């Protein structure tokens, strides 16, 4: 589990099912997962600093995880295999 320069962690990456997002914000955050065509495949909001999502239904490929926390948007690439 490596912290990256985007300000949040998404692990494991690559993943085949569960993806955990952690942000340093106890108030929670909004998240959005988009495919390469820009289509939103999953979105939501959490009131905690951590959420685990199931990506098992998503086709294999590259996705972009977008986090909105404390007014800042952070994006990270995630591979589903």
Give the pLDDT mean for 11-39: 94
**68, exposed or middle or buried, with CB in 10 Å at 0-12, 13-18, 19+?**
middle
Q: What is the pTM of this model?
A: 0.87
Confidence at residue 70, expressed as pLDDT on a 0 to 100 scale: 86
- The answer on pLDDT for 55 being more than 90 is yes
Per-residue pLDDT at 26: 84
Class of the 8-80 domain?
mainly beta
What pLDDT is recorded for position 29?
A: 95
Instruction: Write out the two tokens for 43.
Output: 């979105």
């Amino acid at each position: 589990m490596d912290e990256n320069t985007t300000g949040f962690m998404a692990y494991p990456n690559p993943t085949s099912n569960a993806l955990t997002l952690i942000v340093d914000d106890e108030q929670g955050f909004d998240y959005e997962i988009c495919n390469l065509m820009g289509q939103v495949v999953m979105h939501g909001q959490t009131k905690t600093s951590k959420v685990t999502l199931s990506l098992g239904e998503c086709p294999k490929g590259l996705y972009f995880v977008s986090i909105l926390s404390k007014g800042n948007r952070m994006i990270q690439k995630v591979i589903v295999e």
